[in-house]
A and B are shown apart, each in its own frame.
Chain A
Amino acid sequence: MSTTPAAGGEADRREPLPPLDSPPDAARRPRRGWKGWVGVIVPFIPALVPAAIVISVAVTLVNASGLHNFGWGFFLPGSSANPYGVAVEIVGSFLTAVPALFLSMILGLGIAIASVVYLPTFITRVLDPFVDLLAGIPSVVYGLWAFIVIAPIFGTVINPWAVEHLSFVPGFARSIIPPSPTTAGTGLPLAIIVLTLMALPITTLLIRDALRSIPKDLWESGLALGATRWEVMRRVGLRTGSRGIVSAAFLGFGRAIGETVAVAMVIGVDARFPVNVYDVTSTMAAFMFENLDSAESHPALLQNLAELALVLLAITLVVNLVGRRLVSHIYAGEVAGI
C-alpha cells in the first residue's frame, strides 16, 4: 500500500492506512480454517514414524512379557510359574560387554590419537576408512570367522595352557563343565574378543571425531608453550574432547551389549553362571536369539524371553539416550551407520 498521498480523487477511495500504534497483524491475519491446520499437522506425521516404531516395540514387548504374571520376580529362577529366570543372561551380558568396552576404548583411544596427532595425513587418509569399514562387516560373518578360525586356537592352545599353568589363580582352574569337541574354545574370552572387534570401529570413529573437532588454536598454543605433542594431547586434547570420548564409551557399550548373532555363535549359549574364565555362558541377546524356536510351545519361556527383550531394550535405550545427548552431531557416523 502506497504511503505517499496520491493526487486526485482516487486516493480518497482507498482504504486508510492503519494507525501506527495498532496491534500487530495477528488480528488482521485471516483465521486458520481446518485446511490450514491440515497443512500444519500433516508434515509432522511422517516425522513421528521413528518415535512410533520405538513406542510400538516397547508396547509390544510389554504386552508379550509375563510382567503381569510374575512381576519382577522373573530375574531369578525357581518359582513354579517361572522356572527359567533371566539373571544368568543379564550377568553374562555385562561380563562380556564391560571388558569388551574397556578393551575397545583403550584401543580406540590409541588408534584415534595416533591418527590425529602422530601419523601424517596421507597415511590416515588411507587407514581411517578401513577402520570405519569394520563397522559395516555383518555380525554373522564375524561370528562365523571367530568360530571357525579363532575358537580352535583357544580350544587347543590357550585354554589348555591356562589350565596347566594358571590353575592356582582363582577362576582359571579346570572347568567343571568339560567342553565338547565341537564347542572347544567357545566361551567368555572369545565373546569378549569378538565384541571388542565389533565395538572398536564405533569407539575409534567417535573419539577421532571428538579429537579432530578441537580448535587448532588450542593445540598450537600448547605446543608454543613448549609442551610435547603427547602432553598437549593428554592435558588439552583429552579434556576438551571428553564429551565425545564419553559418548564413544556409551555407544560402544550399546553396540556390545546388543550384539546378537556373533555372540550366539561364540559364547556357546548355556544358561549357567560361568565358574572359570573360559566357561561357556549366555548373554541376553544370544539367549533370546537361540531360544525363540523352542519357546513357541512353552508360553512361560516365551514370556521370559519377552522380559529379557524389555530389559535389553531399556538398557540400550538409556545408553543411547545418554551417549547421543553428549555429542550434538555425528557426521562421519552417518557414513559408518552408527
Chain B
Amino acid sequence: MATVLDSVTYPHGLDPSDDLRRGNTARLRWRTGFDRWIGYLLPLLFLVALVPIADLVWYIGKTALPTLTFTVISSQNSFQSYNALGVPLISTFYILGLATVIAVAFGLFGGIATAEFLSESAAGWVRMSANLLAGMPSVIVGYFGYFAFVLYFGWGYAIIAGAFTLGFFMTPYIFRTADLAFSSIPRPIREAAYGSGARPVQYILRVGAPIAFPQILTGVFLAMAIGLGETAPIILTVATNVAVPTNLSQGATYLTYLIWTGFQFGPHSVELTLAFEAAFLIVVVVIALNIVVRVIAARFRRRLEGLYQ
C-alpha cells in the first residue's frame, strides 16, 4: 500500500521508519541492538580517562604520605640535604602571591573595561587576544620572561622576574572571568543603575562588583591553581635558593622545581622523596582550589538566575 512516506526522499539514505513499515525485523533488531551495546561500551571509555588519574593520585599519595610529616613541612633546613619543605613552601607563597597581585592588577580592570565600556566588536577583538594569551604554551611565556626580564631589564634570575612572568601567564584567566562576570549581570539591573543616575564608576563599585565578586574570585583561584602547577615560567626565570629569600632580586625555590630536580636525580634519591611530597601538596591544593571554583561558580549561576526573577 502506498503511503505518503513513499514520496519522501531521505538525503542520506536513512529512512528510520522503513524497517518497521516493511517488517524488516532483522535490520530493526540489528539497529536497536547496536544502539544498546554501544550504550554499554561507550561509558567504559570513562575508565580510560579516570583510571590513570586515580592511579596518579593514589601512587603519589602512597609514596608521599609516609614521609610527609608536619616536621617536614615546617622544617627550614636546607632541602638539598634534608627532607625539608619549609623553604620551598614559603618561597612558593612569595612568588605565587606576587604573581597573583600582578595578574589581578593587569587582568581585573581590563576585564571590567571590556565588559562595560567597549563596543561589541572591540570587545570581540580584546577577548580574542586574551584567549590567545591563555592558549600560549608556558615555555614561550618563560622564554619571554627570560629574554625580557632576566636579560633585557637586567633583573637576573630573581623573584621579581619570575613573579612578572607567572603574573603575565595568569593574567588572561582573571581577565576572562572578570569580563564574563560583568557581562553576565542582567541588563535590567544595569539599566536601573544607570537610569537612576549612577556614574559608570559608581555602577561598577556599588552594583556590579557585589554581584560579580564570587565569579571574579573563581578566576583568581583558578589562576592560582594554574600558576601553582606551572614549571617552565619559573624555572627559566628564577634561580634556586636554599634559604628563604629576603628581597625581590634573590632567587627562590618553587615547589614544582623540586619535582623537576627529583626527576633528574632519579629513583632512590632524597630529591625524589621531596619531589613526591611536593607533587602531593600541589595536587591536593590544585584539586581543592578547583573544587572551590566549581562550587562558587555553581552558586553564582544560581544567584544570577535568581536575579532575573
Residues of A within 8 A of B (CB): 43-51, 53-54, 56-57, 60-61, 63-64, 107, 110-111, 113-115, 117-119, 127, 129-131, 133-134, 136-145, 147-149, 182, 197, 200-201, 204, 222, 225-231, 235, 251, 254, 257-261, 265, 285, 288-289, 292, 305-306, 309, 312-313, 316-317, 319-321, 323-325, 334-335, 337-338
Question: Complex formed: what's the CA distance from A45 to B290 in Å?
Answer: 31
CB-based nearest A residue for B18: A226
Contacts of B297 in A (CB 8 A): 334-335
**A229–B20 contact, CB under 8 A?**
no
A265 to B173, CA, bound (A): 27
CB nearest to B55 among chain A residues: A149
A50 near B130 with CB under 8 A, answer yes
| B128 near A324: Cβ-Cβ < 8 Å | yes
Cβ A50 vs Cβ B34 within 8 A: no
Complex Cα gap A323–B42 (Å) = 26
> Is the C-beta of B1 less than 8 angstroms from some C-beta in chain A?
no
Supposing A305-B143, A335-B218 touch, asked if A313 and B136 sit within 8 A by C-beta, the answer is yes
Q: Given the complex, which residues of A lie within 8 Å of B236, measured CB to CB?
A: 289, 292
- Is A56 a contact of B144 with CB atoms below 8 Å? yes
Chain A interface main SS type:
helix
Which B residues are CB-close (under 8 A) to A47? 110, 113-114, 117-118, 122-123, 126
Find out whether the CB atom of A113 lies under 8 angstroms from the CB atom of B42: yes
- A134-B263 contact, Cβ under 8 Å, with A258-B138, A335-B294: no
Q: Count the A-B residue pairs with Cβ separation under 8 angstroms: how many? A: 273
Residues of B within 8 A of A (CB): 12, 14, 16-17, 19-20, 31-32, 34-35, 38-39, 42-43, 45-46, 48-50, 52-53, 55-56, 59-60, 106-107, 109-110, 112-114, 116-118, 122-123, 125-126, 128-144, 146-148, 152, 168, 171-173, 175-177, 180, 218-219, 222, 225-226, 228-232, 235-236, 256, 259-260, 262-263, 266-267, 272, 275-276, 279, 282-283, 286-287, 289-290, 293-294, 297
On whether the beta carbons of B175 and A49 are closer than 8 Å, the reply is yes
How far, in whole Å, are A74 and B54 apart by their CA atoms in the complex? 43
CA distance A163 to B152 in the complex (A): 50
Contacts of A131 in B (CB 8 A): 46, 49-50
Shortest C-beta distance, A98 to chain B (Å), equals 17
Pair A144/B263 contact, Cβ less than 8 Å: yes
* A141 x B259 contact (CB < 8 A): yes
Residue of B nearest to A58 (CB): B144
Given contacts A138-B229, A138-B231, A139-B229, A57 and B136 within 8 Å (CB-CB): yes
Distance in angstroms between the alpha carbons of A46 and B260 in the assembled complex: 36
One of B107, B132, B173, B259 near A54 (C-beta < 8 A): B132
Once A49-B106, A111-B45, A335-B293 are accepted as A-B contacts, the answer to whether A57 and B126 lie under 8 Å apart by CB is no
CA of A289 to CA of B14, assembled, Å: 53
A231 touching B279 in the complex, CB below 8 Å, given contacts A111-B45, A141-B56, A289-B232? no
Chain B contacts of A257 at CB under 8 A? 137
A231 touches B290 (CB 8 A): no
User: In the complex, given contacts A289-B235, A334-B180, what are 10 additional A-B residue pairs having Cβ atoms less than 8 angstroms apart?
Assistant: A46-B113, A61-B147, A137-B283, A138-B231, A148-B59, A149-B55, A305-B143, A309-B139, A321-B132, A337-B134
Q: List 22 A-B contacts (CB under 8 A).
A: A46-B110, A49-B110, A51-B125, A53-B168, A57-B141, A61-B147, A110-B45, A136-B287, A138-B229, A141-B259, A141-B279, A144-B275, A225-B16, A231-B14, A235-B12, A260-B137, A261-B231, A289-B236, A292-B146, A312-B139, A312-B140, A321-B132
Q: Determine whether the beta carbon of B136 is less than 8 Å from that of A258.
A: yes
> Which residues on B sit within 8 Å (CB–CB) of A320?
131-132, 135-136
Closest Cβ–Cβ distance, residue B156 to chain A (whole Å): 12
Residues of A within 8 A of B52 (CB): 197
User: Is the beta-carbon distance between A337 and B173 smaller than 8 angstroms?
Assistant: yes
Q: Would A64 and B53 be within 8 Å (CB), given that A113-B42, A265-B263, A289-B232 are in contact?
A: no
In the complex, the answer to whether A141 meets B282 with C-beta atoms within 8 Å is yes
CA distance A136 to B53 in the complex (A): 11
Give Cα distance in the complex from A127 to B172, angstroms.
28
B147 touches A306 (CB 8 A): yes
> A133 contacts which chain B residues (CB < 8 A)?
53, 287, 290
In the complex, are the beta carbons of B137 and A312 less than 8 A apart?
Answer: yes
Indicate whether A54 sits within 8 Å of B133 (C-beta atoms), given known contacts A141-B282, A337-B173: yes
